[in-house]
Amino acid sequence: MRIGFFDSGIGGITVLHQALKYLPNEDYIFYADTLHVPYGEKPKEEVRDYIFRAADFMANQGVKALVIACNTATSIAVDDLRKKYDFPILGIEPAVKPAVQSCKGKRKKVLVLATSLTLKEEKFHNLVKSIDHHDIVESLPLPGLVEFAESFEFREEVVVPYLREKVGALNLEQYGTIVLGCTHFPYFENSVREIFPEKVDIISGSVGTAKNLKRILEARNQMNDGTGDIVYFQSGSKVVDKETLVSYKKLMGRLDELEL
């Protein structure tokens, strides 16, 4: 049985990339809802419908676990998905807790970069409220990064000016940790580092999700002896086009180069 990974687009590959490090002997299905990407700027109920369609598809593939490798989808639907299906469903959320812990005593703030919908959701606000006892967490929506990623636009000469414009009103020296709160954003870590002070930490929730996935499969005695094979789907259609498969391979290579 394979492990399912789901995202609105290619962002979830950043989480799958981590899972391959911790679980190299598993086989995977990766589902990108390319017909409806991006999720982060769409109405909540519309996005919920897309998520449940994708989850139904993955359930019919017989996955033994499903990773919602999308911060927006996690914030909207992970609790309801867990009520519907009997296999483990893991989500991903902005790494606010480790960010706050790392900034304690430094007199520095945390900046969460994410989509508008993630930052609006009650799940995110409850997360911050439960952890941020000293009012050091701030947030900034960056929908343009999702669009760049889906267009395979990673050139710093394009991305960095966009980032500079978005953070123009902020005092960058006051931040100790930047949280990449969207799975599309790790592709741009180099560009983010370009605009923030050198000592700023940049983190995401991908590693924690991969470790949790391994822990759950071990506890359920569901570890496989696979090869790390990945079958890709786009909105329910299996990807067989060589050009698209090569592009996914290049994304994995980019993450290797970034050492993520």
CB 16 within 8 A of CB 28: yes
Tell me which residue of 158, 185, 181, 190 sits closest to 259, measured CA to CA: 190
Catalytic residue among 15, 81, 119, 182: 182
Measure the CA–CA gap between 218 and 215, rounded to whole angstroms.
5
Burial code (b: 16+ CB inside 10 Å, e: under 16) for 109-133 equals bbbbbbbbbbbbbebbeebbeebbe
* Cα gap 125→118, rounded to integer Å: 9
Q: Which of 23, 55, 70, 213 is catalytic?
A: 70
Whether 182 sits among the annotated catalytic residues: the reply is yes
Helix/strand/coil for 86: coil
Residues 3, 67 contacting (CB under 8 angstroms): yes
Query: Which residues are designated catalytic?
Result: 70, 182
